[in-house]
Homo-oligomer: A and B are copies of this chain.
Amino acid sequence: MTHAMRPSFPTDLPAALRPLGRQIAYSKDDRVFRKGDTVRFVFLVLDGALRLSRFARDGSEIALHRACRGEFFAEAALDAACYHCDAIASQASTLLAFPADQVRELLDQDPAFARQWIALLTRQLHAARTRVERLALKSAAERVLHYLHTEGQGPRSEVALTGSLKDLARELGLTHESLYRTLARLQRDGVVTRGEHDLGLA
C-alpha cells in the first residue's frame, strides 16, 4: 500500500490528538470490540471499512452504521461505560485507537476540538435518522431508491459497492434474495444502472 492510498489525518482535528492514537491492523471479520466490552478507545479508520452491528435473538445481524476511511467510529461510546454493539471489520482495515479517557480530557480542555466533535456527532445523528427514515419505508424498491438519493454522489446518485450485495442487503434491512430481485426489476424497468462496483440512477 502506498501513502497516496492512505487518507491524510483529518486536517481539521487538533494536532494534540494525533500522538494519542495507536495504530492497529485488523483482518476481515475481526471484532474490534463487542457489545458489553468496557469502553477503552474510540477509533479512526485509516484504511478499510468497519460496521457497527447488533444481533437479534435469532442471530440475524443488523448493521447500525458503516465507518469508512477517514471516519471516526464509536464516538457515541465516549459517554458510555460499555459498547452497545459489535464493531466488525468488513474488510482488512487499519485503525487508529484513541484512549477514551484521554479524548474526554481533550474535549474538556480544547474548545476547538469539542466544537469539531459536536459537528461530528451532528453528522452522525443526521445519518442515523436518515437510516431510520429509510427503514420505515415498506417496499424494497423504495429503500433502494432512498439509499441512492441519500448516499449517492453525483448527478446519477452513484454509490460505490465496497462490499458484497449481501452487505448492502443487511444495511437496507432486506434479505439478499429480495435485494437481488429488486435490483433486477429496477434495472429491467430502466430506473437504476449497475456497474461492476457501483450502482446509480439511470
Contacts and interface: CB of A to CB of B under 8 A. Distances in A.
21 contacts: A52-B129, A54-B133, A56-B136, A62-B133, A62-B137, A75-B122, A76-B126, A79-B118, A79-B122, A84-B126, A84-B129, A85-B129, A107-B115, A114-B114, A117-B118, A121-B122, A124-B125, A125-B125, A128-B128, A132-B135, A135-B136
Interface residues of A, number: 39
Interface of A: prevailing SS: helix
Contacts of A117: 118
Interface string A122-146: 1111101101110111100010000
A2 to B, nearest CB: 34
Interface string A58-91: 0000101100000000011011100011000000
A196 interface: no
A189 interface: no
Contacts of A155: none
B118 A76 contact: no
A152 interface: no
A54 B76 CA distance: 24
Nearest to A124: B125
A50 to B, nearest CB: 15
Contact of A76 (B84, B129, B131, B133): B129
A145 B64 CA distance: 19
